Amino acid sequence: MPHADNSAATLFIDGEWRTAAGGQTRQIHSPADGTLVTTVAEAGRSDAEQAVAAARRTFDDGVWSSSSAWDRGDLLLRVADILVRDKAEFARAESLDTGKRLVESEFDMDDIAACFRYFGKLAGTDSGRVVDTGTPDAISRVQYEPVGVCGMITPWNFPLLQVAWKVAPAIAAGDTFVLKPSELTPSTAILLMRALAEAGLPAGVGNLVLGTGAEVGSVLAEHPDVDLVSFTGGLHTGRTISALAAPTVKKVALELGGKNPNVVFADANFDTAVDFALTAIFLHSGQVCSAGARLIVQDELHDALVDEIVRKAEQIRIGGPFDDDAETGPLISAGHLHKVEEYVATSVAEGAVLRTGGARPDGERYAAGHFYLPTVLDEVQQGSHAVTEESFGPVLTVERFTDEDDAVRIANDTHYGLAGAVFTGEAAKAQRVANRLRHGTVWINDFHPYLPQAEWGGFKQSGIGRELGRGGLGEYQEAKHVYQNLRPGPQHWFSGE
Ligand code: NAD
C-alpha cells in the first residue's frame, strides 16, 4: 500500500512546500515487488537555483549564522525527539523506498536520532580558542565560523542516515543548506524537512530539492553561490562533482566508495570470523559503503573458512522489507542489479571461481523484485576487476595470503581506503596490522560498528575533506578510527540454518 501521495508539493524551498516549476513528477516503486510507493515532484535546474538563492539570502542576512549555537543545538535535540516519536513512520517509509528490512530501518532511525542528539549537544561547546601572543599589548583568538551555503548530495543505501550526517552538523555550525537526496529514495528526506520545520528551523535555512544528479545535483556542485558541496556516493560521481566545483574553488567534501578488506588470520576464532565475514558482506545485500567485500584469508585457513561461509551463505533467507523470515532484501533497482550481474560475469571470465550464487533467486516471490543471491567468488587475483571494482552487491571475493606482511600488502593494494578489518587471536598482531592498513576505519575482531563521535572517512580515493574547519595539522594528517571488540563472538545476524 502506498505510504503517501506526495505528488502535490515535495520541494521545500524558502520555508514553502512547492511543486516543480516544470510540473514534472517521479514515481517511486518498491525494489522488493515493484508496487508504486509514492509520487514526488521532480525538480529541474530552476528549482535548484531558487533553493540556492533562498539559502544564500538566508545566510547573508546574518540572523541565522549569528544565532545562539545553544539554540541551534536545542533545535537539533527537538528534531531527535520528533524522530523518536515518529520512528515507525520514518522506518516504514525508508523500507518502502529501499526494500531494506524494516528491522534494519528501525536500527537506522535509532542511529539518526543519535546523530541529531550528538550534534545538538556539541553545538556551542567549542567556538574557538585564545592564542597566546607573547605580549600583554595584543590579544589574539581563533574562532570557528559557518562555511556558508552548503550543497548536500546523498546516496540511496542509508538514505536518511547519510542526510543526517550532513544536515545535523550544518545546523549546529550555523550554515544554510540545499539538500538533494538520491532520486531513488526521497521519502524520508521529505519527512525530515517536515520535522525540521516543526522543530522551528527558520525559513530558508534548510531547502530540499528532489531530482537527478545530472539536472539538480550538478547545480549544487557548480553554483557560485554555494560555498561547500558535501557529497556521499560513488567514486566516479565524486570525480565529476570535484570537476564541477573546481571553477568556483568551492570547498568539497567527498565520502566515496570502498573495496574493503577483511583480513582473517589462521589463529582467529573460527566461528566469529565466519559470522562476521557473512555480516560484513551480506548485510543489506552488500549495499554498504564499508561492506567487507574482500575476504583475505591466511592460506592454511582458506578451505575450511570458505567452505563454511559458502554453506551458510546458501541458507540466507531473502525477502521483502516486511517479510518476517527475511534476513536480507533486494538491490535498489533493475539498473543496479544489472551492474552486479555484469560485475560477476566479468570476474568469472577473468578466472574467479564461482562457489555459490551468481544468479537471481528462483520463485514467484522474487519475480517482481531486484533480488540477487549471496555470491562467493573464490581465488580472485590481485589487480583483477573483481578486486579493484566495487560491486556494491552481495558478492564476496576471496584472496589468500601467507604471512602478516603479505596480508598488509594485499589489503592495501587498492585505490580505495574506506574501511577494513582484521581477525586474529593475537592482540599485538591485531594492533600492528591495524596500524599498517591504509583505511579510514579499521575494526579488530568486529565489522561495521561506527560511532558518530569518531572519524568516518576514506583514505586515498575513498574521500576528501573531513578536516574542513579543523585546526591542528589539518589536511596534512589522516584520522584513522581503530575499533577493537574486546569480547568477540558470533552475533548470528544470519542464522545459517
Ligand atoms: P551515486 O554516486 O550514483 O549517487 C549519489 C548521489 O549523487 C545521488 O544523489 C545522485 O543523484 C547524485 N549524482 C549523480 N550524478 C551526479 C552529478 N553529475 N552531479 C551531482 N550529483 C550527482 O551513488 P549511489 O549509487 O547513490 O550510492 C552508492 C555509492 O555511494 C557507492 O559507491 C558507495 O560506496 C557510496 N557510499 C559511500 C559512503 C561513505 O560514507 N563513504 C556511504 C554510502 C554510500
Closest CA to 305 of 222, 382, 228, 378: 378
Q: Is there an atom of ligand 1 within 6 Å of 490 CB?
A: no
Q: Is there an atom of ligand 1 within 6 Å of 116 CB?
A: no
Architecture of domain 261-462+472-484: 3-Layer(aba) Sandwich (3.40)
Summary count for the chain: helices (H), strands (E): 14, 20
Q: Is there an atom of ligand 1 within 6 Å of 391 CB?
A: no
pTM: 0.97
CA–CA separation, 489 and 174 (whole Å)? 43
Per-residue pLDDT of the chain (497 residues; tens, 9 = 90+): 445 555 679 999 999 999 999 999 999 999 999 999 999 999 999 999 999 999 999 999 999 999 999 999 999 999 999 999 999 999 999 999 999 999 999 999 999 999 999 999 999 998 888 999 999 999 999 999 999 999 999 999 999 999 999 999 999 999 999 999 999 999 999 999 999 999 999 999 999 999 999 999 999 999 999 999 999 999 999 999 999 999 999 999 999 999 999 999 999 999 999 999 999 999 999 999 999 999 999 999 999 999 999 999 999 999 999 999 999 999 999 999 999 999 999 999 999 999 999 999 999 999 999 999 999 999 999 999 999 999 999 999 999 999 999 999 999 999 999 999 999 999 999 999 999 999 999 999 999 998 888 888 899 999 987 544 444 677 788 889 999 999 999 988 887 55
Cell of 414: 587498492
Distance from the alpha carbon of residue 182 to the mean position of ligand 1, in angstroms: 8
Q: For a substitution probing ligand 1, which of 237, 241, 290 has the most ligand atoms within 8 Å of its CB?
A: 237
Domain residue ranges in the chain: 3-255, 261-462+472-484
Looking at residue 414, the DSSP 8-state letter turns out to be S
* Alpha-helix runs per DSSP H in 254-380: 270-282, 299-313, 334-349
Distance from the alpha carbon of residue 289 to the mean position of ligand 1, in angstroms: 10
Q: Does domain 3-255 have CATH number 3.30.70.1560?
A: no
CB 27 within 8 A of CB 194: no
Distance from the alpha carbon of residue 271 to the mean position of ligand 1, in angstroms: 34
Residue nearest to atom 16 of ligand 1 (CA): 213
Q: Is there an atom of ligand 1 within 6 Å of 234 CB?
A: yes
End-to-end CA distance of the chain: 32
Q: Is there an atom of ligand 1 within 6 Å of 286 CB?
A: no
- 227 CB burial (10 A radius; 0-12, 13-18, 19+): buried
Ligand 1 atom nearest to 456, measured from its CA: 40
Residue nearest to atom 34 of ligand 1 (CA): 257
Distance from the alpha carbon of residue 233 to the mean position of ligand 1, in angstroms: 2
Distance from the alpha carbon of residue 123 to the mean position of ligand 1, in angstroms: 28
Q: Is there an atom of ligand 1 within 6 Å of 153 CB?
A: yes
Looking at residue 311, the DSSP 8-state letter turns out to be H
Q: Is there an atom of ligand 1 within 6 Å of 218 CB?
A: yes
Q: Is there an atom of ligand 1 within 6 Å of 213 CB?
A: yes
Helix (H, G, I), strand (E, B) or coil at 62: coil
Contacting residues for 125 by C-beta, under 8 A, at least 6 apart: none
Residue nearest to atom 26 of ligand 1 (CA): 155
Active site residues: 255
- Same CATH fold assignment for domains 3-255 and 261-462+472-484: no
Distance from the alpha carbon of residue 234 to the mean position of ligand 1, in angstroms: 4
